[in-house]
Amino acid sequence: MSQLSSKHLLGICDITEDDINLIFKTAENFKQVINRPIKKVPSLRDITIANVFFENSTRTKISFELAEKRLSADVVNFSSSNSSVKKGETLIDTVNNILAMKVDMVVMRHPAPGAHQFLSRHIDANIINAGDGTHEHPTQALLDAFSIRESLGDLKDKKIAIIGDILHSRVALSNIYCLQKLGAKVTVCGPPTLLPRHIRSLGVEVSHNLQETLEWCDCANMLRIQLERQEDKYFPSLREYSLQYGVTMPMLQNLKKEIILMHPGPINRGVEITSEVADSEQSIILNQVENGVAIRMAILYLLAGKQNS
Ligand code: CP
């Protein structure tokens, strides 16, 4: 297989195991490219990509922009906070106006779950989901799975724990879909108030006990408490959350086996993990960020190949 099954990347839910493996194989080649002294290839010369961000981002936005530039694409960046969205322009009008300037692909982050599916019914260009509200963050899940595979090998039967604020996390849902498609076993762990009521229907195990979860897993993906998405109070205080669900170095050192630690960022140091854990040998957090560029190059390259097929 040399092509993706879809012209968009809207979510991991919509892609196949073969798609994921093709993205990984392509990303391995691009990882070699970006570690060379000359990091640029001409693959997307004459392709124009718009990065359209209706929400804040550090990693995803920079990573996409670097991936696009490494592939020699022309890049325009749109941020809703200083745009005509503030004057009431709709999503479809905004994107159609950008596309009228001969843009070929749209990378979009939007606070509304499903915004990308909605847009895909109204425009012709390839759309890549860079995060839609609490729904999906497919490129994060792909770079996460790629980074786990790099550290632990084939994901089949690997035990992955996703710990923290699952309820508000698009990273959690995309990771669950991606890891399960690759044959991994997934447990979600957190306080009952931060786990969606029907999460078991996705085929994951559920735990409220951090110590037991750490003893079970090969890899712990620590998620941030998303205070900006929380209208209600889900736990008494950050201090109490941290005492029950924060990972510390002594906890890792007392486990019978060495596990790896991940975090999609941004980290709340001292809440979900201590600084010592974040910066430890067991943390692969910066590997995730490095791999993000290669994964996004692979996705852009493969979707560009789908443009007229
Ligand atoms: N992981 C992630 O999506 O980070 P940003 O919000 O900084 O893009």
Residue 72, amino acid: S
Residue 27, amino acid: A
Ligand 1 midpoint to CA 134 (Å): 13
59 lines ligand 1 (CB under 6 A): yes
Atom of ligand 1 nearest to the CA of 56: 6
Band of pLDDT at residue 307, cut at 50, 70 and 90? low
CB-CB contact of 104 with 126 (8 Å): yes
Ligand 1 midpoint to CA 1 (Å): 30
Residue 221, amino acid: N
Please indicate whether the domains covering 12-137+289-303 and 138-284 agree at the CATH topology level: yes
Domain ranges of the chain: 12-137+289-303, 138-284
Over the stretch 58-105, which tens digit does the pLDDT of each residue have?
999 999 999 999 999 999 999 999 899 999 999 999 999 999 999 999
251, 293, 35: which is closest to 147 by C-alpha?
293
Instruction: Identify the pLDDT of residue 299.
Output: 98
Is the model more confident about 227 or about 181?
181
Over the stretch 151-195, which tens digit does the pLDDT of each residue have?
999 999 999 999 999 999 999 999 999 999 999 999 999 999 999
- For domain 12-137+289-303, give the fold: Rossmann fold (3.40.50)
Q: If you ran DSSP here, which 8-state letter would residue 231 be given?
A: S
- Give the number of other Cβ atoms within 10 Å of residue 25's Cβ: 12
Q: What's the CATH number of domain 138-284, 1.20.1440.230, 3.40.50.1370, 3.60.15.10, 1.10.3720.10?
A: 3.40.50.1370
Mean pLDDT of the 213-237 span: 86
Residue 232 has pLDDT above 80, yes or no: no
264 lines ligand 1 (CB under 6 A): yes
For residue 79, give every residue at least 6 positions away whose Cβ sits within 8 Å of its Cβ, in sequence order, or none: 53
Instruction: Identify the pLDDT of residue 228.
Output: 74
